[in-house]
A and B are shown apart, each in its own frame.
Chain A
Amino acid sequence: MKRSTVLRTALLAAFLGSAALAANSALEPFLVANDDLASPSPANSLTFYTIAADGRLTRPVSVPSGGYGIAGGYFGFARVLVVPEGADACVYASNSQSKNIVSIQAGARKRVGAFRESHPNRTMATNGVGLAANARYLYAAFSGSGNTGTFEIEGGCTLEFVGNVHMQGRNGGSVVGMAVHKGLMVVAYGDGSIESFNISGGLPVSNGDAQNATGYQDEHLPDAVDITQDGHYAIFGDASEATTVQVSDISSGKLTPTVVYSLGAAWNSSSVRLSPDESVLYISNSSGGRVTAAFFDKSTGKVRKGCTSSPLKGFYTKFAYAGAVATQLATGTGGLLYVPEFGTGSQSFIGVLRFAATPTGCTLTETEDSPVAGTRSSALLSIGVYPPRPF
């Protein structure tokens, strides 16, 4: 294993200063979708869109991933990550059926390579491979085996496999959602339990805080995870028949009992994403075809009801599920919101919404030209944007 302190330091600086660097870089803002195409369809690909100044998605370019996706799976998994590297960026995406991670140099839209575990397991990741990264490591949760692989991020959009750790929830689940913040990883197991890991040494080591989330008793099962910029709070989107999220104070470096917030009747809340300024929590009502925005107080970790969109255009006629939200901008409340829409036919879509705070709350309105069509996939669940938010 090659480790260069100089390189690591450079990468760290690049990561932490990503937003500022991005603003000054020549790299145009883009949105990238993991098309997640599965055999026997044509091999998987990533579709890049240039984000115009007004937020429109333009000039789609398809880049072959060299492997196969799995056409669906867990809502809480990020199947694509955008990691700034100097004036450029690396895009990492999972090929779940091929059980590898493909990397693409964003500026050139050029595939660099595919990286896999050194001990390939034979179990297909039928619910996807979820990704999370800090400045130094990329983590891949394989839904088939229950292993989470650790890859060291090397220069030039390459990865080096470090090792695997098997993770299992208190009630038998495997990882369905994962987020990292510096030396801390927080996971949700889909069975109502959650756990944190110390990743300062690379490989995850349990903090011994595995627990059932508070909402477990009311059938609200944590799914996706997000962590505040200061690492004070972990926020869980729930698989639920309504909209609920849960917040855990992790300022001690360990999970504390979650606080449940009921935010409305919209169906399911499996994906959550904080706005760049952390004032708003965007929730995909994964099964209900809507998006909910809630107000988040980053100093207290409290969540307050905001607003829910109407059903997005084409719900149940053109798409069946909503993936995790990404924002147009890396500042403020993020500008326009992009929502991957898992198609009911041969095509997926990207919904576009506008968030606006009002004196009494907020509004979430789909733009006139939403949704954007054109990905090759019928199974879109994960997108990423450049520049990413600064945490």
Chain B
Amino acid sequence: MRIARHTIERCLLTACLCAMLHGGAAAQTTPTTGCPQRPLSNAVVKNPLDLTSTNGALKVDFTLRSLKLPEQFLKECYLYETSSGPVEAPTLRLNPGDQLELTLTNRLTFVPPAPPVGFLAHDMAAMPAPGTPHDPCLGGAMVATSTNIHFHGLGIPPKCHQDDVLITGIENTDPPFSYSFQIPPDHPPGMYWYHPHVHGFTTLQVNGGAAGVLIVGGMETVKPEVAGLPERVLVVRQEFENPDSWLAGPNRLTLNFQPARYRHRLPPILQMKPGVKEFWRVANAASQAFLSLQVLFGTTPQNLTLVALDGVPVRKSVEVQSIELPPAGRAEFIVTGPPSGQAARLQTAGFDTGPIGPPNPTKELAEIVATANAQEPPAFGGGNTIRKPRAPTSADMPLKARVTARRAMYFAEAAAGTNGPTEFFLTLEGQKPKMFTMSSPPAVVTKVGAVEDWTIANHAGEVHTFHIHQIHFLFLEVNGKKLTNPEWRDTVIVPAWDGVGPYPTVKLRMDFRDPRIAGTFVFHCHILDHEDGGMMAKIQVNPK
């Protein structure tokens, strides 16, 4: 009897624990550990929960947790508490000039197995003295359970409590940490995103799903064609079978956390009303997957009206049939629903990552079902009190600005084998290739007001992506060929080297004119295991 009772108690305890860890949908209680259950693959896709600013401010509390169950993908989740339970990775909606007050409580617990050979230990600026409280603005050990947030694409100061990733390190025992900043009144309207940026562990945390969208309102003021359209927010993430997620390997894409078609799983369902236009905003929050987005009716790619890239409205909306998005890229476009009964799907058409790049095959992200009863997403343009933003136009582009400096840099790798370990470098011409460490000196020093042309080469047989914090840049040239319509971007693809010809290059016009971005921040490859592996550098922008 005694043994039996203990067994029953143990079973009950286990059941409770499992329910708690799974964050059972029925219970809808705040998990004290772990993450809530994510939607089923074949369910109808819904927009993430919107959290919208009111009276010029948005105040939110997030808790970052982790959960790793045997035989399941790692979860690292930003949780927002609602009256009906915790919700993962809501969309933050603010207008230019609004204030964001975001409090993050870090309660990550997952610690992966030992990192691969050659993986460097990372330390922030300083460690607290024994017995003294940890100050996240003074750094500390960067470990799998420490974190911070990068607001990708926003032109805000690189300072602690705003958008700093060099000294901000929030440990999992720290009290809630506050982020507080204003969306600049002249900020472009569009889609941005937030994600952890702890050097050495960004891949792990983003692979776990820690990423969400931030939308700066006002798109309809510069792109009136989107006003009133049903608005769909889609976040593509990437989950890895390898539980520690240190290394690339078998993986699957998800759409708003729903697994895309993967092995025997059926894909997510996007319901649209037949023939009705929708405004889609897609973020590639995958750590290494490149997307080539297409909407197909049958096997025929459809026209997509591209209105914005990387959070900035394009100069002139254009019809395209495919949109390439590197990791961290975003695209906003108009899609017309298929006729009733027409088989349709959203897919990534595959992307050639180069001779030694990882496979990036065609994958169906969602089945599009045309039905008059479609649960439309809400119409765009309601809810926010829109102030007319000063959206960048061609007049704002420093195309004709005096270029104050020209720099050349390159991506390179050094591998000890076909599977690595690999050293990743992002090096200015004339400097020695060095893997980035937190103590690395700035590779570039410039000052507010500078407008610089950067030429970035790729010495490797796999594609890389260039991203810089704090600013956007004009994407001018690829391989010396001028682009017809340069657009503002914050993340671009640098093509893979073909092994025999000259190294591929992109040329970017870097705009450091905004005094808000003075300080030290980073630029890097946004393939996250490359970034974690050292393909990053600092830039110091001195005040004018």
- The interface of chain A, by Cβ under 8 A from chain B, is 72-77, 126-128, 169, 171-174, 176, 189-192, 218-219, 221, 223, 238-241, 267-268, 270, 286-289, 311, 315-317, 320-321, 342, 344, 379, 381
B378 at the interface (CB under 8 A from A): no
- The interface of chain B, by Cβ under 8 A from chain A, is 114-115, 117-119, 355-356, 412-419, 421, 423, 425, 432-435, 459-461, 498-500
Q: Nearest 7 CB-CB pairs, A to B? A: A316-B499, A72-B418, A74-B417, A316-B355, A241-B412, A173-B117, A239-B416
Q: Which of B115, B418, B419, B434 has the largest count of A CB atoms less than 10 A from its CB?
A: B418
Q: Is the CB of A241 within 8 A of B355?
A: no
Q: Is the CB of B500 within 8 A of A191?
A: no
Contact of A190 among B114, B421, B434 (CB under 8 A): B421
Name the distance in Å between A232's Cβ and chain B's nearest Cβ.
26
Find the B residue at minimum CB distance from A192.
B118
Find the A residue at minimum CB distance from B432.
A218
Find the A residue at minimum CB distance from B421.
A190
Residues of A within 8 A of B114 (CB): 172
Q: If A190-B118, A239-B423 touch, does A221 touch B414 (CB 8 Å cutoff)?
A: yes
Q: If A190-B421, A316-B499 touch, does A174 touch B416 (CB 8 Å cutoff)?
A: no
Q: Is the CB of A344 within 8 A of B355?
A: yes
Find the B residue at minimum CB distance from A73.
B417
Residues of A within 8 A of B434 (CB): 218-219
Find the B residue at minimum CB distance from A379.
B418
Find the A residue at minimum CB distance from B117.
A173
Q: Is the CB of A75 within 8 A of B425?
A: no
Find the A residue at minimum CB distance from B411.
A241
* Docked CA distance A39–B473 (Å): 47
Task: Contacts A72-B418, A218-B433 known; list 18 others, CB within 8 Å.
Answer: A77-B417, A127-B419, A176-B417, A189-B117, A219-B425, A219-B432, A221-B414, A221-B423, A241-B425, A267-B412, A268-B414, A270-B416, A287-B415, A316-B461, A316-B498, A320-B461, A321-B356, A379-B418
Residues of B within 8 A of A315 (CB): 499-500
Residues of B within 8 A of A126 (CB): 419
Find the B residue at minimum CB distance from A174.
B117
Find the B residue at minimum CB distance from A268.
B414
Q: If A173-B117, A311-B499 touch, does A268 touch B435 (CB 8 Å cutoff)?
A: no
Q: Is the CB of A241 within 8 A of B413?
A: yes
Residues of A within 8 A of B461 (CB): 287, 316, 320
* Docked CA distance A63–B43 (Å): 52
* Docked CA distance A192–B416 (Å): 11
Q: Is the CB of A74 within 8 A of B416?
A: yes
Residues of B within 8 A of A174 (CB): 117
Name the distance in Å between B428's Cβ and chain A's nearest Cβ.
14
* Docked CA distance A258–B321 (Å): 56
* Docked CA distance A287–B422 (Å): 11
Q: Which of B114, B434, B461 has the largest count of A CB atoms less than 10 A from its CB?
A: B461
Give chain A's interface secondary structure class. Answer: loop
Name the distance in Å between B246's Cβ and chain A's nearest Cβ.
13
* Docked CA distance A189–B417 (Å): 12
Q: List 24 A-B contacts (CB under 8 A).
A: A72-B418, A74-B417, A171-B118, A172-B119, A176-B416, A189-B117, A190-B416, A192-B118, A219-B432, A221-B118, A221-B414, A223-B416, A238-B414, A268-B414, A270-B417, A286-B415, A287-B414, A287-B460, A289-B499, A317-B499, A320-B418, A320-B461, A379-B418, A381-B418
Q: Is the CB of A190 within 8 A of B117?
A: yes
Give chain B's interface secondary structure class. Answer: loop
Find the B residue at minimum CB distance from A72.
B418
Name the distance in Å between B73's Cβ and chain A's nearest Cβ.
21
Name the distance in Å between A256's Cβ and chain B's nearest Cβ.
23
Residues of B within 8 A of A191 (CB): 117-118, 421
Name the distance in Å between B411's Cβ and chain A's nearest Cβ.
10
Q: Is the CB of B414 within 8 A of A75?
A: no
Name the distance in Å between A191's Cβ and chain B's nearest Cβ.
5
Residues of A within 8 A of B418 (CB): 72-73, 75, 320-321, 342, 379, 381
* Docked CA distance A283–B413 (Å): 18
Q: Is the CB of B417 within 8 A of A72?
A: yes
Name the distance in Å between B180's Cβ and chain A's nearest Cβ.
39
* Docked CA distance A77–B418 (Å): 12
Name the distance in Å between B532's Cβ and chain A's nearest Cβ.
16
Residues of A within 8 A of B498 (CB): 316
Residues of B within 8 A of A344 (CB): 355
Q: Is the CB of B500 within 8 A of A311?
A: yes
Name the distance in Å between A173's Cβ and chain B's nearest Cβ.
4
Name the distance in Å between A130's Cβ and chain B's nearest Cβ.
11
Q: If A221-B118, A316-B499 touch, does A72 touch B419 (CB 8 Å cutoff)?
A: yes
Name the distance in Å between B356's Cβ and chain A's nearest Cβ.
5
Q: Is the CB of B433 within 8 A of A172?
A: no
Q: Is the CB of A172 within 8 A of B117?
A: yes
Residues of B within 8 A of A311 (CB): 499-500
Residues of B within 8 A of A219 (CB): 414, 423, 425, 432-435
Find the A residue at minimum CB distance from B434.
A219
Find the A residue at minimum CB distance from B498.
A316
Name the distance in Å between B55's Cβ and chain A's nearest Cβ.
52
Q: Is the CB of B435 within 8 A of A75?
A: no
Q: Is the CB of A268 within 8 A of B415?
A: yes
Residues of B within 8 A of A240 (CB): 414
Name the distance in Å between A89's Cβ and chain B's nearest Cβ.
28
* Docked CA distance A340–B118 (Å): 26
Find the A residue at minimum CB distance from B247.
A126
* Docked CA distance A358–B2 (Å): 89
* Docked CA distance A288–B435 (Å): 20
* Docked CA distance A72–B415 (Å): 13
Residues of B within 8 A of A76 (CB): 416-417
Name the distance in Å between B391's Cβ and chain A's nearest Cβ.
41
* Docked CA distance A379–B419 (Å): 12
Find the A residue at minimum CB distance from B500.
A311
Residues of B within 8 A of A288 (CB): 499
* Docked CA distance A344–B355 (Å): 7
Residues of B within 8 A of A267 (CB): 412, 459
* Docked CA distance A174–B416 (Å): 12
Residues of B within 8 A of A238 (CB): 414
Name the distance in Å between A263's Cβ and chain B's nearest Cβ.
15
Q: Which of B115, B355, B356, B459 has the largest count of A CB atoms less than 10 A from its CB?
A: B355
Find the B residue at minimum CB distance from A290.
B499
* Docked CA distance A320–B419 (Å): 12
* Docked CA distance A189–B60 (Å): 48
Residues of A within 8 A of B115 (CB): 172
* Docked CA distance A77–B461 (Å): 22
Q: Is the CB of B500 within 8 A of A316?
A: yes
* Docked CA distance A76–B414 (Å): 13
Name the distance in Å between A76's Cβ and chain B's nearest Cβ.
7
* Docked CA distance A124–B149 (Å): 37
Residues of B within 8 A of A223 (CB): 416
Residues of B within 8 A of A342 (CB): 418
Residues of B within 8 A of A241 (CB): 412-414, 423, 425, 433, 459
Name the distance in Å between B359's Cβ and chain A's nearest Cβ.
12
Residues of A within 8 A of B118 (CB): 171, 173, 190-192, 221
Q: Which of A77, A126, A190, A239 has the largest count of B CB atoms less than 10 A from its CB?
A: A239
